[in-house]
Amino acid sequence: MSPRTAGNWSSFEFTLTPEAKHVFAEATSGLLGVKYTAFAFATQTVAGTGYSFLCEGVAANRSPATTVVKMRIYQPLANPLSEVEERPMIESIEAIAP
């Protein structure tokens, strides 16, 4: 297998690393209406790190529906000159149809 170069996506991993769990939790902490649980992730090295998570989504209502989505999250590079830590941000959430 050749080494991964910047811009290319890794393969999906089905065991989340502590770093991936942290990025996911930070990015989704303010979401309301749906509870997302990540079960796989891939990464992309860019000016920061792109994450692609496969997630189960459960709506928070009386008859909750369960869906599978692909959620893209971007983690900016740390800026040593800034006192403010840049948080990861959700770029997209895409439903995966059967």
Tens-digit pLDDT string for the chain (98 aa): 345 567 899 999 999 999 999 999 999 999 999 999 999 999 998 889 999 999 999 998 888 889 999 999 999 987 776 676 789 999 999 999 88
In a domain, 38, yes or no: yes
> Do the domain assignments include residue 40?
yes
**SS3 string of 1-12?**
CCCCCCCCECCC
Instruction: Report CA-CA distances (Å) from 37 to 6, 40, 52, 54.
Output: 27, 10, 13, 8
Does the residue 3 lie in any domain? Answer: no
Q: What is the pTM of this model?
A: 0.86
Residues spanned by the domain of 63: 18-95
Structurally, the chain folds into a number of domains equal to 1
- pLDDT for 2 equals 42
Q: 39 in a domain, yes or no?
A: yes
The answer to the question of residue 8 being in a domain is no
Q: What does DSSP assign to residue 47?
A: S
Residue at 89 is within a domain: yes
Tell whether 5 is covered by a domain: no
